[in-house]
Structure 1
Amino acid sequence: MFVRLKKTLEGLLYDNTIEEEHYRKIRQKSSSGSAITVGLVAAVGGFLYGYDTGLINDLLEMTYVEKNISSNGINFNVHERALLTAVLSLGTFVGALVAPILSDRYGRKFSIVLSSAIIFNIGNILQVSASEVNLMCIGRAVSGLSVGILSAIVPLYQAEASPKWVRGSIVYTYQWAITWGLLIASAICQGTRKLTNSGSYRVPIGLQFVWSLCLCIGMFFLPESPRFYVQKNDIQKALDSLTKLRRLPHDDTDLIEELVEIKANYDYELSFGKTTILDCFRSGGARHKQTLRIITGIGVHAFQQCSGINFIFYYGVNFFASSGMKNFYLMSFVTYLVNTVFTIPGLILVDIIGRRKLLIGGGIGMAFCNFIIAIIGVTVKHNEINSIISISFSCGFIACFASSWGGAVWAIASDIYGISIRQKAIAITAATNWLVNFVFAYITPYLIDTGKHTAALGNRIFFIWGGLNTLGVIFVYFMVYETKGLKLEEVDYMYQNCANSRVSTKFKSGKL
């Protein structure tokens, strides 16, 4: 099945009608299969996040968990629900900021293994052992630290290991893995939720040991990023890594040319002096329009997280249950399934129509669906009709998100920074993702629940999501430059020569 999937992706991602002859020859010699393998294995880091996120949505509604872990022995109050859900994101925020310290010093590969094998499993042990809220929160925070590190390193590793014609799709697999994690967590919880013992939550949590082990074993067979070795001035290891990734002999002229370009670009950036975290926010040297670039990365990540998607995935079961739906667990599973299936079109289209068009089109569809849900919620009083329409357009919203903002944001953020600051900048943008995630995960119960100190917005919260989707589309139109088909070393040249984001779509890749 894995081999068949890999061949299918290779066939879909090739477009021999738009490439220059020079790169067609490279493509004939260099299979994208290696890059796809790297992408799928490393993307298991996204699966860990998706699975842990999917768990909390279901666990908080399990009868045994409510009676034995909540403070009142009946159900979780608003504060407990908010804290248990959001504390993972707080850990991921810290983890993303820590990532450059590990990745730039010890390498992308080692950092991924360390994070998944040790840090994640410490958090998981605490979660499995938990029998009250505080220990569960501590465990989720520690696991979040690992997930945050992975979120800042995995897309970077995927981008640095991939050839330009499939880079966007390879990075998109990180998001696809998240959707699989959500889906499988929901399916497993469906099978354990009726258990009347601690196995109801300890079995699905304990399975995370298996997922982290899969990532660790897979990473041992993958090469380190050649760009990391270039940063360490170890050209021989960089050549060995590139040879494995491109499946070309050491003396191949195209392989050597690619390595020379990477090295020359890094030396050029380094000639202006060593970089610090502050250089992520200021232009200079080989960092043209750097302030614009970091704002772009921060902006797309922020708008992704305040799109409303996590409202459904964090609180979907609770929201569907409060809406009077009987099969609310099944409905939650359906939303995860839609998310997984509709990530595939985005994975294909990101390197065909490009990042800009995908984000703009998807954002318009998301805004439309959210506004419809909100309008129906305040105008239609018949609960059954209201529920049917809300669920239908919720699935429409998820489909639009999955095929655009879900993965294209990670692709953009991993494309637009120079090698000397790339890991630091991606860490900042990923940390923004988790910070906004934490804020909305924490405040959402207070916005939708009824009772004291809550806003009780109900369906009206979708007006907020729709408005933020609209702002996101406007942001992309004016701020996001198109990086489809460009080598990472060409992106700075594109920023230097394109007056604005609208004309960036006309910039063509060429030999530097």
Structure 2
Amino acid sequence: MNRYQFLCLAYVTFGSIFYGYDSGITTSILAYERFLIYFDLNATKIGAFNSAYYGGSFIGCMLNWYLPNKIGRLRTIQLSCAVAFVGISMQTAAKSFGVFCAGRVVGGIACGLVFSVCPTYASEISPPEIRGFVGGVYAVNINFAYMFTEWIGLGLYFIDSDVSWRLLLGLQLVPAVAMFAGSFWMPFSPRWLILKDRNEEALVVLKKMHSAPGHEDFPLREYHQIRAQIELDRSERLGVSSILSKKSYRKRLMIVVGAALFQQLTGVIPIQNYQVQVYQSLGFSNILSLVLTGIYGTVATASAVLAMLLCDRIGRRKLVFVAYGLMIPASLVLVILWSRFEASGNTNRGLGIGVVFAIYLFSCGYSGPMNTFWPTYSAEILPTSIRSFGVANSYLTFNGIVILLVQCTPLALEAISWRYFIVFLVMDFIFVVAFSIYCPETRMKTLEEIEALFGDHVAETPDGTGKHLTDEELKEPDVVVTENTNATEQSAEKNATSA
């Protein structure tokens, strides 16, 4: 990996900071008595403002059915940053609950845009041997932002004024500003450029990003492979509409949507977003609940770092089995210990501590392995023509389930407490069986080669297992002849590396 590619991937994976910070806010701010009193919050209102955010994110994902292919992955990110500025300003300055909720909706739209387009963008600029690692970096950023927010939330808790929660909300501007500023040094996705017949620009990006000593011809071979596959899809008229008629496309879309569905039915949202209420129900104070939440974020970050290092080594399937090998026992222990805690009259502190450790064990399974698997797999198994559409639908499903959960969880915790988590335990068993049957391994394969795993034709492969490239095909693509050919090439490079 050269320096330029490293910086590009660092930028794209930074997009998960949006979601990580916002998730942290949702958890921490519920311990702020001034915030609860200012908006006169109860279980219903708490569910409402959480639903408002994820409802906005749902809309953002819907917009990604169209925007990333129309204006490009990079322009979509820039648009999301601009929308985020408006939403964050509304939340931070809100004088009424209505304005606050409206700000959460607008902020959610921005998050939906950036959070679902970044995995698409990342997969399209990552070489196959580190694509899982890049997905792991995405997960690390989510969890690091969450952890950072929780510890910041603990510190701001001690400010005895409304500045505490307004500042916590206002800090959402930091990742938005950073993403917007960095976008002006980013290239367009080479696959999107070829999709738009901007072939010379695509080759410039591939050369700049994937050139390495001893592999000088790889970018050109990769260029031919991408272009051949896109042209094949065009000749067969494969696009979003083909999902209805092409079995392999339907299967892939069902996999990414199903993975998103069952990922959220692990119970992560009730555990993560409502930790403060869970810890308080176990007898812990507000401050100690915030400390325990910060520890949760730290454990999650450590888990994500480990998953990042393992994903390309052990593969996607084994990573998922590791995840559920931790989450299922953790959920089972959580239900048993919490039920015994309540049977003791909520007085057995040891059982309460046991529930906390079960939550941390669950985080080891979910926060790293599942947060690495999902953005990696959902983007890489989809062909270029429907990749942004399919990933958007995956995140659309994610947000739809989250809206349901954040709305009903406060009420469910009050009504049935630990029994609520039995539902998620059952869903875990169902997913493991379905995943083992329907989801193939994709480790170390190019995005175009993954087509073959689902029975589709691969136009050509860079390693010679498909169509062999002729000497004529290995020549540079033609550029428009002008008085100064070098100027034309420089112009292409400038266009490809500017926002």
TM-score strictly above 0.5: yes
The gaps in structure 1 that reach 5 residues or longer are: 1-30, 71-75, 450-455, 499-507
Write the letter of the residue equivalent to 2:254.
I
SS in 2 for 1:289: helix
Match of 1:53 among 12, 23, 27: 23
Residue of structure 2 in register with 1:407 after alignment: 372
Residue of structure 2 in register with 1:87 after alignment: 52
Of residues 357-366 and 255-264 in structure 1, the stretch that sits farther from structure 2 once superposed is 357-366
Mapped contact 1:487–1:509 kept (Cα < 8 A): no
Residue of structure 2 in register with 1:355 after alignment: 316
Structure 1: distance between partners of 2:28 and 2:217: 54
Aligned pairs for 1:97-136 within 5 A = 97-116=62-81, 118-136=82-100
Mapped contact 2:123–2:131 kept (Cα < 8 A): yes
Q: Offset at 1:411?
A: 0.8
Residue of structure 1 in register with 2:280 after alignment: 321
Match of 2:398 among 427, 430, 433: 433
1:64 counterpart = 2:34? yes
Q: Offset at 1:488?
A: 0.2
Mapped contact 1:169–1:348 kept (Cα < 8 A): yes
Residue of structure 1 in register with 2:118 after alignment: 154
Mapped contact 2:307–2:369 kept (Cα < 8 A): yes
Residue of structure 1 in register with 2:180 after alignment: 216
- TM-score where L is the length of structure 1: 0.85
Residue of structure 2 in register with 1:20 after alignment: none
Q: Offset at 1:252?
A: 3.9
Q: Give me the identity figure in percent.
A: 23
Residue of structure 2 in register with 1:341 after alignment: 302
Provide Cα deviations, 1:37-78, integer angstroms capped at 9, x if missing partner. Answer: 3222112221011111111211122021122122xxxxx211
C-alpha change, 1:235 and 1:43, in structure 2 (3 Å) is same
Residue of structure 1 in register with 2:8 after alignment: 38
Q: Offset at 1:331?
A: 0.5
Q: Offset at 1:33?
A: 4.6
1:477 counterpart = 2:436? yes
Match of 1:393 among 352, 355, 358: 358
Looking at both structures, which has the greater relative contact order when contacts are Cα pairs under 8 Å and sequence separation is at least 6?
2
1:268 counterpart = 2:219? no
Mapped contact 2:207–2:220 kept (Cα < 8 A): no
Write the letter of the residue equivalent to 1:80.
K
SS in 2 for 1:342: helix
Structure 1: distance between partners of 2:297 and 2:464: 40
Residue of structure 1 in register with 2:383 after alignment: 418
Residue of structure 2 in register with 1:236 after alignment: 200
SS in 2 for 1:420: helix
Q: Offset at 1:275?
A: 2.1
SS in 2 for 1:194: coil
Q: Offset at 1:293?
A: 1.0
Q: Offset at 1:383?
A: 2.7
Mapped contact 2:2–2:211 kept (Cα < 8 A): no
Residue of structure 1 in register with 2:497 after alignment: none
Of residues 313-322 and 155-164 in structure 1, the stretch that sits farther from structure 2 once superposed is 313-322
Write the letter of the residue equivalent to 1:188.
I
Of residues 331-340 and 94-103 in structure 1, the stretch that sits farther from structure 2 once superposed is 94-103
Q: Offset at 1:221?
A: 1.6
SS in 1 for 2:136: helix
SS in 2 for 1:100: coil
Structure 2: distance between partners of 1:273 and 1:280: 11
Structure 2: distance between partners of 1:162 and 1:79: 43
Q: Offset at 1:509?
A: 8.0
Mapped contact 1:91–1:141 kept (Cα < 8 A): yes
SS in 1 for 2:175: helix
Residue of structure 1 in register with 2:159 after alignment: 195
Residue of structure 1 in register with 2:453 after alignment: 494
Mapped contact 2:261–2:397 kept (Cα < 8 A): yes
Write the letter of the residue equivalent to 1:385.
G
Residue of structure 2 in register with 1:301 after alignment: 260
The gaps in structure 2 that reach 5 residues or longer are: 467-499
Provide Cα deviations, 1:265-288, integer angstroms capped at 9, x if missing partner. Answer: 000001022623x433441xxxx6
Structure 2: distance between partners of 1:511 and 1:97: 38
Mapped contact 2:58–2:109 kept (Cα < 8 A): yes
Mapped contact 1:289–1:495 kept (Cα < 8 A): yes
Match of 1:465 among 413, 424, 449: 424
Write the letter of the residue equivalent to 1:372.
V
C-alpha change, 1:35 and 1:465, in structure 2 (3 Å) is farther
Structure 2: distance between partners of 1:98 and 1:215: 19
Mapped contact 2:2–2:212 kept (Cα < 8 A): no
Structure 1: distance between partners of 2:28 and 2:136: 26
Mapped contact 1:366–1:400 kept (Cα < 8 A): yes
Structure 1: distance between partners of 2:60 and 2:243: 18
Structure 2: distance between partners of 1:280 and 1:93: 21
Write the letter of the residue equivalent to 1:467.
V
Structure 1: distance between partners of 2:463 and 2:160: 60
